[in-house]
Amino acid sequence: MPKIDMDAVPERRGSGYPDPFKAAYANRIKQPLGDAAGLTQFGVNLTRMAPGTGTALRHWHENEDEFVYVLEGELVLIEDEGETVLRAGDAAGFKAGVPNGHCLVNRSDREAVILEVGTRAPTERGHYPDVDLMAVKDGGGFKFIHKSGEPYA
């Protein structure tokens, strides 16, 4: 059945970031809708963010296009040039390989909800300009390492 049973899609609460980055994303909940439908070429998450949390640490991808559409609430898009408010009905796209870190932060007093889409490339490097973190994928899932290449303990 191609229609997705939204109530049956698991909720992934929090992030896979290592300490000390993990705490800020404890109130972020993702439902992997694309996975639920058996899709493999791109991921689609329905992501809910409580006030004070956001989509991710500011980052950019070498190989994977990204797209977000705001369904509810208000988020602040942060990138090299500064900040831009996104409200319900707004959208943004992030072309793979453009070295401009981005994230969306919920500074409002109510939940924000987005659809986020990202290509599933077999290998990837995610760059985090503000912190000592890199995301690497070589055929499996993402792992987080220091910029030196050392693993997080």
Interior/surface letters 31-67, b for 16+ CB within 10 angstroms, e for the rest: bbbbbbeeeeeebbbbbbbeeebbbbbbbbbeebbbb
What minimum distance in Å lies between the beta carbon of 49 and a copy of itself? Answer: 17
Question: What is the spatial distance between Cα 41 and Cα 141, in angstroms, rounded to a whole number?
Answer: 14
Kindly state whether residue 56 participates in binding a copy of itself, applying the rule CB under 8 A. no
Kindly state whether residue 79 participates in binding a copy of itself, applying the rule CB under 8 A. yes
Q: Which residue in this structure is represented by tokens 């493999």?
A: 40
Contact 77, 104 (CB under 8 A): yes
Could you tell me which of 101, 112, 91 has the C-alpha nearest to residue 135? 101
CB atoms within 10 A of CB 103: 18
Kindly state whether residue 91 participates in binding a copy of itself, applying the rule CB under 8 A. yes
Could you tell me which of 93, 95, 111 has the C-alpha nearest to residue 61? 95
Question: What is the spatial distance between Cα 35 and Cα 31, in angstroms, rounded to a whole number?
Answer: 9
What minimum distance in Å lies between the beta carbon of 57 and a copy of itself? Answer: 16
Kindly state whether residue 1 participates in binding a copy of itself, applying the rule CB under 8 A. yes
Kindly state whether residue 39 participates in binding a copy of itself, applying the rule CB under 8 A. yes
- Output 120 or 146, the one with its CB closest to a copy of itself: 120
- Output 86 or 135, the one with its CB closest to a copy of itself: 86
One of 20, 89, 139, 141 touching a copy of itself (CB under 8 A): 89
* Site size for a copy of itself (CB under 8 A): 39
Kindly state whether residue 78 participates in binding a copy of itself, applying the rule CB under 8 A. no
Kindly state whether residue 76 participates in binding a copy of itself, applying the rule CB under 8 A. no
Interface residue list for a copy of itself (CB under 8 A): 1-4, 6, 33-34, 36-42, 44, 46, 64-65, 67, 69, 71, 77, 79, 81, 84, 86, 89-96, 100, 102, 115, 117, 119
